[in-house]
Amino acid sequence: MEIIKTKIPDLLLLQPKVFEDDRGYFLESWNQATFQSQGLDINFVQDNESQSSRGTLRGIHLQVAHPQGKLVRVTQGEVYDVAVDLRPESPSCGEWSGFTLSSENKSQLWIPPGFGHAFLTISETATFNYKCSELYYGDDQYTLAYDDSAVGVEWPLKKNELKLSEKDSEGWSLDKVLNQIKQQNR
């Protein structure tokens, strides 16, 4: 597996080795020893899968008291995946990076604890899988506004093409999210 550092420290793009022949393909999507060799000692405790139609935007979510690291990939279709550094002590706090993840490119993204995460389905449908380093706590989940101008995520679809849950359409500003994090981390 090739592990590629991104412009934001600790956010990693992973490209597994794919073995293809006329029968199909094989790849190793997770290997604890590979991660440990990169200094990442992660214990995954929950796996999730979602399927979404074109234009569905899920996020930008984070947990504060129980921050989740996520290893994400797409097994059918294509999404635009976004991670926002929301670690108040980080020099890249408030910065975002976006990557196209698809069943075709088989790329994966490691999103460390302390990052907000979202994805936008850009194919007709997409199946999205993620391994989490912490359990989901609904009362600990916060949503950063997907269109917060202080962050400035550049989504590949127009605003009128987006499908959002009520929670995701009422996300907080970057300042409000960071204030919540600082209050809880006292």
Catalytic residue positions, numbered:
61, 130
The structure tokens listed for 27 are: 């790849």
141 pairs with which residues across the strands?
63
Nearest-angstrom CA–CA distance, 48 and 12: 20
Taking phi first (over 0 means left), then psi (-120 to 50 degrees means alpha), and beta for anything else, what does residue 114 get? left
φ, ψ at 48 (rounded to 5°)? -130, 155
Residue of 186, 65, 43 whose CA lies nearest to 136: 65
